[in-house]
Chain A
Amino acid sequence: MIFIPPFLLRLSKTNFIMHNSLLRSDELTRRRFIARTASSLLGVGLMPNFLSRDALAAATAATAAGGAAKNVIYLYMDGGMSHVDSWDPKQGEVAGPTKTIQTSADGMMLGEYLPRTAKQMHHGTVFRSLTSTQGAHEHGNYMMHTSYQMRGTIKHPSMGAWLAHFRGAGNPTLPSSVYVGNASRHPGAGFFSPELGPLFVNNPENGLKDIELQKGMGRDEHGARMKLALDLDADFVRTFGKQRNVSAHTGAYDGAYRMMASKDIAAFDLTQEKAELRDAYGRDPFGQGCLLARRLVERNVRFVEVSLHGWDTHAGNFIATPDLCEKLDRGLATLVSDLHARGMLKDTLVVLATEFGRSPKINGSLGRDHYPNAFSAAMWGGGVKGGFVFGSTNKTAEEVENDEITIPDFNATLGQALGLPLEEVVLSPNGRPFKLADKGKPVTSVFA
Chain B
Amino acid sequence: MKLFRIFVLLLCVTVVPTTICAAITPQETQQAAAHIDSLLATHWKAAKVSANDPISDETFVRRIYLDLAGRIPTAAEASVFLDSKQPGKRAALIDSLLASDSYVSHFYNFWADILRLKSTFVNTANVVPAAYERFIKESLRANKPYDQFVREMLSAKGYAWDNGAIGYYARDPEMPLDNMAITSRIFLGTRIECAQCHDHPFDKWKQTEFYHLAAYTYGNKPVSEALGGVRDAFKAREQVILDDFKKEKAASKDGGKAAEQRKNERLDAMQFRTVLGIIRHGIGQLLSPIAMERKEDSVLKLPFDFHQGDGKAGDVMTPRPIFGEAAEPSPSDDRAEVFARWVTLPENPTFTKVIVNRLWKKMLGVALIEPLDELRDDTKAMVPEVEANLEKLMVALHYDIRAFLAVIANTRAYQSAVSAGEFSHESVWHFQGPTLRRMTAEQIWDSIVALANHEPDARDLAREAREERRIAISRMVCDTYLNYDGAKIVDLGYASLASENAILAKEKVAREAETQAKRSGDKARETELRREIGRYQRDRHEAYVRDFLNPMLVNLAQKKAGPNAKITVDETYKMNTNPAVFAVETWRKMHVPDYGPAPKTAAQIEAEAQADKQRLARLATKLGYSAKECAAFVAYCEKARGEWMRASELESPAPRGHFLRTMGQSDRDFVENANPNASITQALALMNGDLISPKGLLSPFSPLMHFVAQARTADAKVDAIYLALLSRKPTPHEKAAWKKLASQDSASPDALIYAVLNTKQFIFIQ
Does B17 sit within 8 A of A, measured CB to CB? Answer: no
Judging by beta carbons under 8 Å apart, are A237 and B684 in contact? no
- Chain A residues, CB < 8 A from B685: 209-210
Contacts from B to A (Cβ < 8 Å): 8, 11-12, 14-15, 122-123, 171-172, 175, 178-179, 181-182, 191, 193-194, 196, 201-202, 346-347, 369-370, 374, 376, 378-382, 384-385, 387-388, 391-392, 395, 420, 422, 424-429, 436, 438, 504, 507-508, 511-512, 514-515, 518-519, 526, 530, 533, 655-657, 664, 667, 669-670, 675-685, 687-690, 693, 731, 733-734, 737-738, 741, 745, 747, 751-752, 754-756, 758-761, 763-764
B760's partner among A16, A246, A316 (CB-CB below 8 A) is A246
A21 touches B679 (CB 8 A): no
Max chain A CB contacts within 10 Å: which of B379, B427, B683, B755? B683
The smallest beta-carbon distance between A4 and chain B, in angstroms, is 6
Chain A residues positioned under 8 Å from B667 (CB to CB): 188
**Chain A residues near B422 (CB-CB < 8 A):** 242-244
Lowest 10 A-B CB distances belong to which pairs?
A16-B384, A152-B178, A256-B683, A252-B678, A231-B737, A40-B677, A210-B684, A210-B688, A228-B755, A229-B755
| Contact yes or no, A18 B380, CB < 8 A | yes
Interface residues of A in 401-433 (CB under 8 A from B): 430-432
Asked if A155 and B670 sit within 8 Å, CB to CB, the answer is yes
Give the CA-CA distance A229 to B738 in the complex, in Å: 9
**Quick check: B657 and A17 within 8 Å, CB to CB?**
no
Give the chain A neighbours of B533 by CB distance below 8 A: 316
Q: How many angstroms from the CA of A14 to the CA of B369 in the assembled complex? A: 16
Query: Which residues does chain A contribute within 8 Å of B8, judged by CB atoms?
Result: 2
- The answer on a CB contact under 8 Å between B381 and A20 is yes
Residues of A within 8 A of B670 (CB): 153-155
Contact indicator A252/B680 (Cβ below 8 Å):
yes
Q: Report which of B179, B518, B680 forms a contact with A43, defined as CB distance below 8 A.
A: B680
Taking the closest CB of chain A, its distance from the CB of B442, in whole angstroms, is 17
Q: What is the CA–CA distance of A246 and B706 in the complex, to the nearest angstrom?
A: 32
> Chain A interface (Cβ within 8 Å of chain B)?
2-8, 11-12, 14, 16-23, 25, 28-30, 33, 40-41, 43-46, 97, 136, 138, 150-155, 184, 188, 193-195, 199-200, 202, 209-214, 221-222, 224-229, 231-237, 239-240, 242-246, 248-253, 255-256, 259-260, 316, 318-319, 322, 364-366, 430-432
Q: Is the CB of A256 within 8 A of B760?
A: no
A220 to B752, CA, bound (A): 15
Question: A246 and B656: CB pair below 8 A?
Answer: no
A7-B315 Cα distance, complex, nearest whole Å? 35
Q: Are A8 and B657 in contact (CB under 8 A)?
A: no
Q: How far is the CB of B591 from chain A (nearest CB, A)?
A: 31
- Bound complex: CA of A205 vs CA of B422, how far in Å? 44
With both chains docked as a complex, state the minimum distance between the C-beta of A194 and any C-beta of chain B, in angstroms.
5
Residues from chain A with a CB closer than 8 A to the CB of B182 are 152-153
Known A-B contacts A155-B670, A212-B688; the reply to A23 vs B428 at CB < 8 A is: yes
Q: CB-nearest residue of chain A relative to B368?
A: A20
Distance A45 CA – B684 CA, assembled complex (angstroms): 14
Partner of A229, one of B347, B677, B758: B758
Q: How far is the CA of A342 from the CA of B424 in the complex (A)?
A: 50
Q: Is the CB of A211 within 8 A of B655?
A: no
Residues of chain B lying within 8 A (CB to CB) of residue A235: 731, 733
Residue numbers in A under 8 Å from B733 (CB-CB): 234-235
Given contacts A2-B8, A22-B370, contact A256 B680 (CB under 8 A): yes
Q: How far apart are the CA atoms of A97 and B515 in the complex, in Å?
A: 8
Q: Which residues of A contact B669 (CB under 8 A)?
A: 155
B688 and A233 contacting across the interface, CB-CB below 8 Å: no
A residues within 8 A CB of B380?
A: 16-21
- Across-interface contacts of B518 in A (CB, < 8 A): 318-319, 322
Contacting residue for A226 out of B14, B202, B687, B745, CB 8 A: B687
Q: B379: which A residues are within 8 A, CB to CB?
A: 20-21
Q: A225-B754, A233-B761, A319-B518 are in contact. Are A151 and B202 (CB under 8 A)?
A: no
A-B interface contact total, Cβ < 8 Å: 253
Q: How far is the CB of A426 from chain B (nearest CB, A)?
A: 15
- Closest Cβ of chain A to B152, distance in Å, is 20
CA distance A269 to B424 in the complex (A): 43
Residues of B contacting A253 in the complex (Cβ-Cβ under 8 angstroms): 683, 687, 758
A44 proximity list for chain B (CB < 8 A): 679-681
Find out whether the CB atom of A430 lies under 8 angstroms from the CB atom of B759. Answer: no
Given contacts A21-B370, A97-B515, A364 and B438 within 8 Å (CB-CB):
no
Q: Looking across the interface, which residue of chain B has its beta carbon closest to that of A317?
A: B515
Please indicate the chain A residues that have their CB under 8 angstroms from the CB of B179 in the complex.
152
- Whole-angstrom CA separation of A252 from B664 in the bound complex: 14
Does A16 contact B381, Cβ atoms closer than 8 Å? yes
Q: B508 contacts A364, CB within 8 Å?
A: yes
Closest Cβ of chain B: how far from A363's Cβ, in Å?
11
Please name the residue on chain B nearest to A29 by beta carbon: B425
Contact assessment for B755 and A226 in the assembled complex, using a CB-CB cutoff below 8 Å: yes
What's the Cα separation between A213 and B758 when bound, in Å? Answer: 14
Contact check: which of B427, B514, B676, B760 meets A233 at CB < 8 Å? B760
Q: Report the bound CA distance from A23 to B424 in whole Å.
A: 10
Tell me whether A259 and B680 are in contact (CB under 8 A): yes
Q: Which residue of B lies closest to A37 (CB)?
A: B677
- Asked if residues B514 and A319 are in contact (CB atoms below 8 Å), the reply is yes
Distance in Å: Cβ of B390 to nearest Cβ of chain A: 11
Option from A21, A214, A255 in Cβ contact (under 8 Å) with B376: A21
- Taking a contact as CB atoms under 8 Å apart, the answer to whether B756 and A199 are in contact is no
Chain A contacts of B684 at CB under 8 A?
A: 209-211, 256, 259-260
Q: How far is the CB of B324 from the nearest CB of chain A, in Å?
A: 10
The reply to whether A236 and B511 form a contact with Cβ atoms under 8 Å apart is no
A-B pairs with beta carbons under 8 Å apart, 14 shown? A7-B395, A16-B388, A22-B429, A97-B515, A97-B519, A152-B182, A194-B677, A200-B656, A213-B688, A235-B731, A245-B676, A259-B684, A319-B515, A430-B191
**Also in contact, A45 and B680, with CB within 8 A (given A5-B347, A20-B382):** yes
For B747, the closest partner residue in chain A by CB is A224
A2→B656 contact, CB < 8 A: no
**A8 to B347 Cα, complex, angstroms:** 8
Which residues on A sit within 8 Å (CB–CB) of B123?
A: 136
Cβ contact of A252, chosen from B172, B175, B682, B688, cutoff 8 A: B682
Cβ-defined contact, A194 with B675, below 8 A: yes
Q: In the bound complex, do residue B514 and residue A316 qualify as a contact, i.e. CB atoms below 8 Å apart?
A: yes
How far does the Cβ of A369 sit from chain B's closest Cβ, in whole Å? 14
Smallest beta-carbon distance A187→chain B, Å? 9
Cross-chain contact B683 with A366 (CB below 8 angstroms): no
Instruction: Name the residue in B172, B508, B514, B687 with the highest tally of chain A Cβ atoms < 10 Å from its Cβ.
Output: B687
A96 (CB) vs chain B CBs: closest residue: B515
Contacts of B395 in A (CB 8 A): 5, 7-8
Q: Closest residue of chain A to B196, judged by CB? A: A153
Q: How far is the CB of B29 from chain A (nearest CB, A)?
A: 20
Query: Which chain A positions have C-beta within 8 A of B683?
Result: 252-253, 255-256
A224 touches B741 (CB 8 A): yes
B171, B178, B376: which has the most chain A beta carbons within 10 Å? B178
The CA of A256 and the CA of B680, in the complex, are separated in Å by 5
| Residue on B nearest A41 in the bound complex, by CB | B677
Q: Chain B CB within 10 Å — which of A41, A232, A234, A318 has the most? A: A232
Instruction: Give 15 A-B pairs besides A225-B758, A322-B518 with Cβ atoms closer than 8 angstroms.
Output: A18-B380, A20-B380, A22-B427, A40-B677, A152-B179, A212-B688, A214-B693, A229-B758, A233-B760, A234-B733, A236-B764, A245-B436, A252-B683, A318-B515, A319-B518
Set A6, A25, A40, A244: member contacting B425, Cβ < 8 A: A25
Residue of B nearest to A152 (CB): B178
Q: How far is the CB of A236 from chain B (nearest CB, A)?
A: 5
Docked complex Cα distance between A153 and B422 (Å): 30
Nearest CB of chain A from residue B671's CB, rounded to whole Å: 8
Nearest residue (CB) in B for A245 is: B438
Structural contact, B384 and A17, CB atoms closer than 8 A: yes
With A and B bound together, what is the CA distance between A231 and B740 in angstroms?
11
Chain A residue, CB-CB nearest to B507: A365
* Chain B residues closer than 8 Å to A14, beta-carbon distance: 388
Complex contacts, B760 vs chain A, CB 8 Å: 233, 236-237, 240, 246, 249-250
